[in-house]
């Protein structure tokens, strides 16, 4: 009975307590909450626990964490933290980083929990909160003022909160970060200011000042995160001390305890070898017996740390000290002995550098086992300066070379010259002598091997005895005067030890004469194709009988001596680019190509070349030979073969412009220039042709003429043509009708414009027009140079009167009294050739040049066939004139007229005559054909009165 009652009681108790136990297991509230501060990391550290059953079941739990700022009653954090319970991580830990300095204020923390089973909430309600735990800040201190963070290193570009805490009763109004001010508005005892994107500070940091009733502050230091060290290397020069060096991974702007630290340690044994500041990026320590190292270099500052690693065997890291006391022990003509010392006794491979005068470098090797070494460098050239230096490295397990030793320069001894001189000659022949200029220079294979004292020249004329001559070392040529050009010439160089092999050149009696460099029309004139800025391209036709070729030229062809140069080429070469710093554009150079065989040379070709052709700057001398309505004949003078020209003359451009700006001439190209006017252009492509005849120039026209020579291409048409009054520009008038033949060249300057209806004389011009009229129009025209007319004629020229007369029977001798002034009979169109012959018969032997004439009375008449004649009187022809000479030339009376446009002169006497008779008939005078005319005489004649003496003239 009692036993039964006991069982009932136990069963009831179990039924009553099971729901309660189940409820407790589902809650698992947090216990033993502990809260602390980590001021270095600026964190709150939380730690709590739950009951054993929760750990045994390894349940997943959610913890709700709430953090309040005390005093302000402000919840700054209220979030959940989920974790799986595990005995290995007991008790539970969690940290929180504040946005504001942890010292600035006090915090109260509490936690509650919720159990999760297979991702399902076991209970729908949280456990009870733990009791709040409070961590006090400096805001509870009333006796002192604070600013946080204080004396802190922060990262560049970050945002930094600053907390100012005044002592009791103090109010904070603003904060200064350097010179930048942050205002707080209404003052409080505690204020927080955030400065964004802070910049690097100097080594002394930047001041932070809290301003209120009183001012107080601190310093802040802004820097970069530390960088990983670079180029960590370790080596030894004596197998005793190990030297390590590196480069910082970042630039440090701070100093002292705030700067970056470097710690070098051995990971294999934990030894720390160095603890260095960034100013010393190296570390040295004695090795002892250890040869293998596993080093770690740590770089760290207040913001973090980085590492670099290096594993090596020290026997593979030998870097010897540089050699010293380098000296010369022996000197020979082709070898030098060297001696040097080493700081440590090691097995080393040493390298000797030998630098030649031309910059070429030779390397020689030597193995050293002691602290002293010696090496003889061979294969050198005599009498040559060489510069030596030495470096060494480990002979086994080579790591790197040492630094170079100091430089040592020395000179080898002299020896006799080696090789041959490059010899050439220039020949000038006389009637019974020969002048040979011998030139020499160094061949590429020639070496003086010392200081040249003299050059010795030997020559042997055919059939004569050898002759020698010594020339100073400063000369590179000499002149030989020989009776016979057939000779052998040799040249050798001599120094204090000996002489070179002779260089021989042979001259035969049939050699060419090199006396002159003149360029003539027979020498090919080549263009500048394939030339460069400093080189002239030359080609020649190869000939199989020659073993080589020689090209010579003058660097300065316009001066003497011309600086003769030459260059030799092989048998298979047929072109070359001749370069010289002396070549300039616009200068003509003559090149001669010789074929060589042994010591003889034969001239093959001569060529005229330019480095660059330029256009000529001088102008052709223009003349107008014929001007009438049917023909306009131009000629010009120009020395197109002159070698001083800046380019080969390839032709001429003739430009013709009339006063209306049109081009109507036949056979000429029309060109429109910039101002819209039209110019006639004609290109003459033969430089030897210097004449142009234009047909049908028209009536009553005035043309401006210009001729330009060109080298590479015809000149461009510009508005500058016909500008000014240059001597090479002509203005040519075309008469209304009738031929105009001056029989001479026109003047060199501008000409006067001739009126289309009457003749006149313009004192500012160079031409005078004389014309005669009939009832049918003008019948005569002559143009006389201004200088001649001004000295011989009156200022005004009247029109002559034309009177018809009868021509007598041929060969009838007419007395002077048979004529009256100004009477001219126009009848029977005889040929110009016949009349010219008879009119001048008996006069042609006595007539002087026009330059000596003193003209007085002139008569112009026509025979009806457009032939105009004037014949001077014998007395006038013999009278000397004081006027200046001109370029005018008269017709030559010894030859018949070539055409109907030539002019002759007939003396007009003062006596009157009624007419000319032919047979027994008398021709009446037609008064309608008279023109007013007044006798004229030359201004410079001996008498001012007209000469009325009678003269006999043969007339047909």
Give the sign of the dihedral formed by CA 845, CA 848, CA 850, CA 856.
negative
Task: Categorize the per-residue pLDDT at 94 as very low, low, confident or very high, splitting at 50, 70 and 90.
Answer: very high
Residue 187: predicted pLDDT:
74
Residue 456 and residue 469 in contact, taking contact as beta carbons nearer than 8 Å? yes
Q: Is the peptide bond before 91 cis (omega within 30 degrees of 0)?
A: yes
Residue 721: predicted pLDDT:
61
Q: Is 790 helix (H, G, I), strand (E, B) or coil?
A: helix
Q: 526 Cβ partners below 8 Å, 6+ apart? A: 607, 608, 609
Task: Categorize the per-residue pLDDT at 921 as very low, low, confident or very high, splitting at 50, 70 and 90.
Answer: very low
Task: Categorize the per-residue pLDDT at 856 as very low, low, confident or very high, splitting at 50, 70 and 90.
Answer: very low
pLDDT at 861 over 90: no
Task: Name the more confident of 196 and 508.
Answer: 196
Residue 677: predicted pLDDT:
83
> For 276-285, 500-509, 587-596, 627-636, which range has the lowest pLDDT when averaged over its residues?
276-285
CA distance 623 to 745: 5
Question: Residue 18: how many CB atoms within 10 A of its CB?
Answer: 10
Q: b/e string for 702-724 if b means 16 or more Cβ within 10 A?
A: bbbbbbbbbbeeebeeeeebbee
- How do the residues of the chain divide into helix, strand and coil, expressed in percent and rounded to 5? 10, 40, 50
DSSP for 888-919 reads --PPPTTS--SSTT----EEPPS------EET
> Tokens 């204080």 identify what position?
150
Question: Residue 783: how many CB atoms within 10 A of its CB?
Answer: 27
Note if the pTM is more than 0.85. no
Task: Name the more confident of 358 and 920.
Answer: 358
Task: Name the more confident of 285 and 189.
Answer: 285
Share of the chain above pLDDT 90, in %: 40
Q: Is the peptide bond before 114 cis (omega within 30 degrees of 0)?
A: no
Half-sphere exposure (Cβ direction) of 614: Cα atoms closer than 13 Å = 13
Residue 150 and residue 51 in contact, taking contact as beta carbons nearer than 8 Å? no
CA distance 896 to 836: 6
Question: Residue 117: how many CB atoms within 10 A of its CB?
Answer: 12
DSSP class of residue 322 equals P
pLDDT at 231 over 90: yes
Average pLDDT over residues 542-559: 94
- Compute the C-alpha angle 420/421/424, nearest 5°: 130
Q: Considering the chain, what is the average pLDDT of its residues? A: 76
Please, what is the end-to-end C-alpha distance for the chain in angstroms? 204
Residue 953: predicted pLDDT:
30
Range with the largest mean pLDDT of 345-359, 430-444, 771-785, 888-902? 345-359
255-263: which pairs have CB atoms within 8 A and are 24 or more residues apart? 255/203, 258/153, 258/221, 258/223, 258/301, 258/302, 259/301, 260/226, 260/299, 260/300, 260/301, 261/298, 261/299, 261/300, 261/301, 262/229, 262/297, 262/298, 262/299, 263/297, 263/298, 263/300
Q: Where are the beta strands (DSSP E) in 638-754?
A: 651-658, 669-672, 678-684, 691-695, 701-710, 729-734, 740-741
User: Both tokens of residue 381?
Assistant: 């050239």
> For 21-35, 237-251, 528-542, 645-659, which range has the lowest pLDDT when averaged over its residues?
21-35
CA distance 326 to 339: 6
pLDDT at 423 over 80: yes
Average pLDDT over residues 699-717: 84
pLDDT at 286 over 70: yes
pLDDT at 833 over 60: no
pLDDT at 766 over 80: no
DSSP for 264-314 reads EEETTT--EEEEE-TT--EEEEE-TT--EEEEEEEEEETTEEEEEEEEEEG
- Does residue 20 come out as left (phi exceeding 0), alpha (psi in the -120 to 50 range) or beta? alpha
pLDDT at 815 over 80: no
pLDDT at 754 over 90: no
DSSP class of residue 412 equals P
Residue 591 and residue 538 in contact, taking contact as beta carbons nearer than 8 Å? yes
Q: Which residues pair with 953 in a beta bridge?
A: 814
pLDDT at 568 over 90: yes
CA distance 166 to 145: 4
> Tokens 């036993």 identify what position?
3
Q: Which residues pair with 775 in a beta bridge?
A: none
Half-sphere exposure (Cβ direction) of 612: Cα atoms closer than 13 Å = 8
> For 238-242, 281-285, 475-479, 525-529, which range has the lowest pLDDT when averaged over its residues?
525-529
- Could you tell me how far CA 455 lies from the centroid of its own chain? 43
User: Both tokens of residue 84?
Assistant: 């799986």
Residue 382: predicted pLDDT:
94
pLDDT at 392 over 90: yes
- Does residue 463 come out as left (phi exceeding 0), alpha (psi in the -120 to 50 range) or beta? left
Average pLDDT over residues 857-868: 41
Of 131, 134, 128, 133, the C-alpha closest to 112 is 128
pLDDT at 432 over 80: no
CA distance 222 to 208: 12
Task: Name the more confident of 537 and 774.
Answer: 537
pLDDT in tens, 322-345: 999 999 999 999 999 999 999 999
- Could you tell me how far CA 253 lies from the centroid of its own chain? 46
Task: Name the more confident of 667 and 893.
Answer: 667
Q: Is 552 helix (H, G, I), strand (E, B) or coil?
A: strand
Question: Residue 883: how many CB atoms within 10 A of its CB?
Answer: 20
User: Both tokens of residue 144?
Assistant: 């002192």
Q: Is the peptide bond before 298 cis (omega within 30 degrees of 0)?
A: no
- Dihedral of CA atoms 180, 183, 189, 195 in degrees, nearest 10, equals -50
Question: Residue 539: how many CB atoms within 10 A of its CB?
Answer: 14
> Tokens 């061949």 identify what position?
443
Q: 339 Cβ partners below 8 Å, 6+ apart? A: 325, 326, 327, 328, 329, 372, 373, 374
Residue 676: predicted pLDDT:
79
pLDDT at 771 over 80: no
Q: Phi first, then psi: what are they for 96, rounded to 5°?
A: -140, 130
Residue 737: predicted pLDDT:
52
Task: Name the more confident of 664 and 602.
Answer: 602
Element (H, E) at 161: strand 160-165
Average pLDDT over residues 63-87: 85
Considering only CA atoms, give the Rg of the chain: 60
DSSP for 89-105 reads GPSEEEEEE-SS-GGGS
Q: Is 140 helix (H, G, I), strand (E, B) or coil?
A: helix
CA distance 956 to 948: 23
Range with the largest mean pLDDT of 251-260, 723-732, 907-916? 251-260
Residue 910: predicted pLDDT:
37
């Amino acid at each position: 009975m009692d036993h039964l009652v006991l069982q009932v009681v136990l069963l009831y108790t179990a039924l009553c307590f099971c729901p309660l136990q189940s409820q407790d297991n589902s809650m698992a509230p947090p216990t033993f909450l502990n809260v602390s501060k980590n001021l270095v990391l600026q964190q709150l550290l939380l730690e709590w626990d739950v009951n054993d059953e929760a750990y045994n079941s390894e349940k997943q739990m959610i913890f709700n964490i709430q953090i309040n700022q005390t005093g302000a009653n402000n919840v700054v954090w209220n979030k959940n933290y989920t974790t799986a319970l595990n005995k290995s991580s007991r008790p539970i830990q969690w940290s929180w980083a504040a946005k504001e300095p942890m010292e600035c204020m006090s915090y109260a923390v509490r936690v509650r929990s919720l159990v999760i089973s297979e991702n399902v909430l076991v209970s729908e309600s949280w456990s009870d909160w733990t009791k709040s735990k409070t961590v006090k800040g400096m805001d509870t201190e009333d006796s002192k003022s604070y600013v946080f963070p204080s004396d802190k290193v922060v990262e560049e570009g970050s945002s930094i909160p600053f907390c100012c805490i005044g002592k009791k009763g103090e109010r904070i109004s603003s904060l200064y970060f350097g010179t930048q001010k942050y205002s707080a508005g209404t003052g409080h005892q505690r204020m927080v200011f955030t400065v964004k994107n802070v910049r690097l500070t100097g080594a002394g940091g930047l001041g932070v000042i809290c301003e209120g009733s009183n001012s107080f502050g601190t310093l802040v230091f802004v820097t970069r995160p530390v960088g990983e060290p670079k180029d960590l290397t370790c080596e030894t020069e004596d197998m005793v001390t190990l030297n390590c060096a590196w480069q910082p991974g970042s630039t440090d702007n701070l100093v002292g305890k705030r700067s970056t630290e470097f710690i070098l340690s051995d990971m294999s044994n934990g030894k720390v070898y160095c603890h260095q500041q960034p100013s010393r990026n190296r570390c040295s320590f004695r090795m002892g017996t250890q040869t293998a190292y596993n080093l770690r270099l740590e770089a760290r500052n207040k913001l973090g740390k980085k590492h670099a690693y290096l594993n090596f065997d020290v026997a593979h890291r030998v870097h010897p000290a540089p050699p010293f006391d380098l000296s010369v022990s022996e000197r020979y003509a082709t070898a030098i002995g060297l001696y040097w010392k080493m700081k440590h006794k090691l097995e080393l491979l040493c390298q000797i550098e030998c630098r030649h005068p031309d910059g070429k470098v030779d390397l020689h090797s030597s193995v050293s086992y002691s602290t002293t070494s010696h090496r003889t460098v061979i294969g050198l050239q005599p009498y040559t300066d060489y510069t030596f230096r030495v470096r060494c490295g480990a002979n086994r397990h080579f790591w790197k070379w040492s630094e170079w030793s100091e430089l040592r320069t020395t000179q080898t001894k002299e020896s006799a010259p080696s090789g041959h001189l490059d010899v050439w000659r220039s020949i000038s022949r006389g009637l019974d002598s020969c002048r040979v200029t011998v030139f020499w220079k160094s061949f590429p294979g020639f070496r003086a091997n010392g200081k040249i004292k003299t050059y010795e020249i030997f020559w042997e004329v055919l059939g004569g005895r050898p002759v020698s001559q010594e020339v100073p070392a400063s000369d590179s040529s000499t002149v030989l005067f020989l009776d016979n050009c057939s000779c052998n010439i040799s040249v050798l160089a001599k120094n204090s030890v000996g002489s070179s092999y002779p260089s021989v050149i042979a001259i035969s009696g049939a050699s060419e004469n090199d006396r002159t460099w003149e360029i003539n029309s027979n020498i090919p004139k080549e263009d500048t194709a394939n030339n460069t800025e400093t080189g002239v391209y030359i080609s020649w036709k190869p000939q199989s009988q020659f073993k080589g070729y020689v090209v010579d030229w003058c660097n300065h062809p316009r001066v003497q001596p011309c600086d003769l140069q030459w260059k030799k080429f092989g048998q298979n070469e047929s072109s070359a680019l001749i370069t010289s710093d002396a070549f300039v554009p616009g200068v003509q150079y003559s090149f001669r190509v010789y074929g060589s065989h042994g010591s003889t040379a034969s001239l093959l070709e001569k060529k005229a070349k330019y480095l660059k052709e330029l256009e000529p700057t001088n102008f052709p001398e223009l003349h107008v030979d014929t001007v009438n309505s049917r023909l306009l004949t131009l000629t010009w003078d120009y020395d197109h073969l002159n070698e001083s020209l800046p380019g080969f003359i390839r032709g001429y451009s003739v430009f013709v412009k009339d006063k209306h700006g049109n081009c109507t001439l036949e056979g000429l190209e029309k060109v429109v220039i910039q101002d819209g006017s039209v110019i006639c252009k004609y290109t003459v492509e033969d430089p030897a042709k210097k004449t142009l005849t234009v047909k049908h120039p028209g009536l009553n026209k005035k043309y401006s003429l210009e001729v330009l020579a060109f080298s590479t291409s015809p000149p461009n048409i510009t508005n500058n043509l016909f500008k000014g009054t240059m001597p090479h520009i002509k203005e040519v008038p075309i008469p209304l009708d009738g031929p105009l033949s001056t029989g001479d060249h026109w003047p060199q300057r501008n000409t006067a414009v001739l009126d289309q209806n009457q003749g006149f004389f313009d004192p500012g011009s160079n031409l005078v027009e004389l014309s005669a009229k009939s009832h049918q129009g003008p019948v005569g025209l002559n143009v006389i140079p201004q200088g001649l007319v001004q000295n011989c004629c009156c200022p005004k020229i009247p029109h002559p009167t034309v009177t018809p007369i009868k021509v007598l029977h041929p060969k009838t001798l007419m007395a002077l009294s048979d004529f009256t002034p100004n009477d001219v009979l126009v009848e029977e169109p005889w040929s110009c050739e016949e009349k010219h012959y008879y009119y001048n018969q008996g006069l042609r032997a006595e007539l002087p040049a026009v330059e000596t004439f003193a003209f007085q009375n002139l008569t112009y008449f026509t025979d009806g066939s457009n032939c105009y004649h004037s014949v001077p009187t014998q007395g006038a022809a013999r009278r000397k004139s004081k006027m200046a000479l001109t370029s005018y030339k008269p017709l030559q009376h010894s030859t018949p007229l070539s055409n109907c446009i030539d002019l002759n002169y007939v003396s007009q006497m003062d006596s009157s005559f009624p007419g000319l008779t032919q047979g027994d008939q008398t021709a009446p005078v037609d008064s309608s054909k008279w023109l007013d005319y007044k006798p004229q005489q030359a201004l410079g004649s001996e008498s001012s009165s007209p000469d009325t003496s009678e003269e006999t003239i043969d007339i047909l």
